[in-house]
Structure 1
């Protein structure tokens, strides 16, 4: 009898020991994840005043098709559900609620635009749904203390503003600055960054500020006003439609101001060439992405993978567009993060992995730039290089600049 009891005890102990790792490795799922599928939700401006950004979402959908053709992520297919929000915050709210409450997505991904993301940030944080790699660089989207479920992708607009301010002080110390900005967190962060960098000189150097609403038909009146104030440097913090208008109007007025343009509006195909290559020549901005138009990268392995992807999965898209390069890169990072989750596809673990990225190299990041995040530092991209438009394409100049200006 004792021998039998001892045998049963040993058998039970062995079963527990063997079952321990199996239990530890047990698959975990939240809404939107299963053995076969990962549902991700997105809104994008397929129509409306920011529809130039629609191609980003089209690239992202194509990228997920490629991943699914390759077997998916850890054996699971990605179901990217996309809705048009027309760059209208109320529409974004409606569509994101649908994604969360009807489609039951695991996470949102790359919602496009500062006002759109702002409209749903509180809701997503209350629901505990990741607002992952949001398409904005406004400071409120990299604030883990107040919005732990929100993580922006773009470099900080304030940091970008600091870089422009430092450039102006070094190269145009006597400039008379006219500011054009979008009247939301995007524009206001850029203005704040510039003023912080200029310091005490801001009051004397800035001769005028003019804002616009995304519903405005044109920014012509603002450009006319800033020129009339005597500005000889235009600090243009706008989105593609209005940036192209500003460049065109400045040329019509024969206003030869130094033109600094934010990174969001630097598309060659959507902004610079439609505004006129000669009109756009000399415009200054920043970048962190390999430019598909730059022959420097023609033999680059990452660029070759991008070009092959475009040819097979999005042949109708413009393979020279930096918007499409951006869509490819953001998709690559999402897939990398999902792979890190393994079989623990909970929202909590997704955020844990997204905030634990270490030296991640993406195909189209400039050499020397990698992705690093932490639970206290949600900023995905913290390094930039300045660039100047030569009439046909952008040319980088100067060193890689970090978030601290170094």
Structure 2
């Protein structure tokens, strides 16, 4: 079995961060969200990976390399524009050949890995196997309709009137039959080749499509709220580890990770928190569920439930919470603004905030 990871999306819901960064490389607990998917694929025993990329190819290729760091052999497949998930399958036709494959969306996060799904697919060999989860607003997702026996009988992409609350999770398993379906597709009203239409084609052709309703945790990390929630979830499982320097005037409470080269001085850190390599926290408070990236500086400030990307600087700020702060951002005091701030800042931004 091979794997196909789609990492060509533009990430419009994470603007302005994604004006300058690939959405799949935005970090969760100081590790790009894409890496969690690659690790899950490798853990399932898959070795050959096709990575579909777009305008951010250079950045993703620099981060992933040849895949050997993950135990994978990576082939990069260029998609000229985000033309739909099924288009990703279309351009990967030669790479995939006649093998079964798992398709994984590079900005999705799933707890528990995919080993069980891969094993079930290999054992039962349907034409396709999809993962579903119940959501509050299915209009934002591909939605599945099941019959009384739990068999998939219909799929629709972002329907105005959903027939169920079961949304497709971003992991699919396919036999080579999917290639025939994709070749028959026409662009949807969104101008894309929809994978839901391809799976619907399989159903109408009388082929078996199985589903699993997952009970574990899944998030499409396409917006700031979801990124922060996934960051919270990952930090829940960290173990305290201090490899950097923490002075005697500082206090670490709970599960705090201070990576090598980081410095904490005259500060209070309440975990779960990760302080990245080479970061410096001085005269500050860092609260729960916060990830401070490499080479960041937090001085005379308070921050919690936030993600701070590498090389950002926060100085003299009374309080920041529920924020995603980009690479090389500078946050400094300015008069006459509220005590608490919520920020979504693009890379290289400069913001003045009152103390």
Say yes or no: TM over 0.5.
no
More RCO (CA 8 Å, sep 6+): 1
TM-score, with normalisation over the residues of structure 2?
0.30
* Higher strand residue share: 2
